[in-house]
């Protein structure tokens, strides 16, 4: 039994290493959420799946690998409404239940998968909150970073533990 548990742990660590390495190699910035895992564990239906993902391990791997590969990890504030905010117009819903899997904006009429909307909001987070770190930037840096951004787009936004469906799977 101990060997089986060790094997499962090794497989999870290997997966986490591969995913985090790919994220920091292919992107100049990765945005993650500072989630209230303790509060999420109160939901008995989701607790086991949440623990299996290993959010802390993934965050640790991202942090140290980002330094190695020259990427930046931006941690979105725990209270940033990534799921409740419309990524198009910025309207924030007062309430959004977990069972609502499609986000509908009351103001602009946007219909979007809840997780995709949250990911797009997290992609915008550094610009919205001014969280690009404390490095002073010059106009020359801005030009260089714009060229790098074109070549290596900030698209490493993912909600760990979700399996995104392909657009064709809804047909």
Contact criterion met (CB below 8 Å) for 119 and 158: yes
Tokens found for residue 55: 């959010």
Q: Is this prediction's pTM over 0.75? A: no
State the helix-helix crossing angle for 55-69 and 2-26, rounded to 10 degrees.
40
Buried b (16+ CB within 10 A) or exposed e, 102-135: ebebeeeeeebbbbbbbbbbbbbbbeeeebeeee
- pLDDT at position 130: 60
pLDDT along the chain (171 residues), means of 10: 95 94 93 87 88 88 94 89 88 86 88 90 82 38 46 42 40 34
pLDDT given for residue 157 in this prediction: 44
- The DSSP call for residue 48 is H
pLDDT at position 170: 36
Give the C-alpha separation, 113 to 100, whole Å. Answer: 9
The pair phi, psi for residue 60, each rounded to 5°, is -60, -45
A 10 A CB-CB count for 27 gives: 19
Q: Compute the C-alpha angle 95/44/114, nearest 5°.
A: 35
Q: What is the pLDDT of residue 141?
A: 42
Domain boundaries, the chain: 2-162
Whether 82 and 118 have beta carbons less than 8 Å apart is answered as yes
pLDDT of residue 90: 86
């Amino acid at each position: 039994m101990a060997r089986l548990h060790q094997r499962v742990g090794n497989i999870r660590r290997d997966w986490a290493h591969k995913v985090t390495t790919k994220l920091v190699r292919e992107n100049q910035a990765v945005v993650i959420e500072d989630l209230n895992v303790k509060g999420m564990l109160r939901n008995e239906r989701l607790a086991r799946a949440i623990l299996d993902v290993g959010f802390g391990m993934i965050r640790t791997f991202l942090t140290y690998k980002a330094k190695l590969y020259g990427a930046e990890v931006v941690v979105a504030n725990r209270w940033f409404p990534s799921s409740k905010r419309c990524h198009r117009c910025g309207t924030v819903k007062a309430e959004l239940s977990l069972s609502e899997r499609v986000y509908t904006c009351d103001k602009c009429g946007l219909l979007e998968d809840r997780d995709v909307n949250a990911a797009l909001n997290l992609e915008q987070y550094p610009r919205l909150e001014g969280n690009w770190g404390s490095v002073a930037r010059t106009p020359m840096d801005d030009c260089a970073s714009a060229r790098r951004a074109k070549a290596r787009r900030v698209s490493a936004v993912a909600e760990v533990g979700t399996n995104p469906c392909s657009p064709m799977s809804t047909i």
